[in-house]
Amino acid sequence: MADAPTDHVSPDQSSDAPAALPPPGMEEAASGVRTTADMLELQHAIIENLPGAGFVTDEDGRIVLVNQRARLLFGYTRDQMVGQPVEMLVPERLREQHVMHRADYNAKPRIRPAAANLTLIARQKSGREIPVEIMLIPIVTGAGAYTIVTVRRRKDAAPAG
């Protein structure tokens, strides 16, 4: 009987923990060892080419990487987002609850697909609230645990004005 698929990047990992990846700069390719500069370029290409607005948070919920689509969607610059808690993108009335949801997620990280049946609201820099779909993907590196977050405006949402 075949094993059931897991939500994790690597099938050889336990289903209770996200896949561990080697630290940046330590990966090997058929042609040899990749340099740190190569890995930084790859990291930039991955985050910028996510399908939609995307960013990466650390285990404390601080934004560590952000793509241009996220900056455009939320109205912030990279410098205004990086280092800030992800709750900056959550309406104030929901922030305390979001911190608890984030703690629950971190206790058992897993891929959480975007679900159209969830009513999720994000907050732009202007204060405008927008309905969104959010996907979470946990990753673990030698530097710690992170979450890749992709955000899309709900299809039924009106354009920002």
**Domain-by-domain residue ranges, the chain?**
28-153
Q: Which helix (H) or strand (E) holds 96?
A: helix 95-107
Q: How far apart are CA 105 and CA 67, in angstroms?
A: 23
Q: How does pLDDT run along the chain (161 residues), one tens digit per residue?
A: 444 444 444 334 434 444 555 555 444 554 556 788 888 898 889 999 988 999 999 999 999 999 999 999 999 999 999 999 999 999 999 999 999 999 999 999 999 998 767 789 999 999 999 999 999 999 998 899 999 999 999 877 555 44
CATH of segment(s) 28-153 = 3.30.450.20
pTM: 0.74
CA dihedral 77→84→121→18, nearest 10 degrees, is: 110
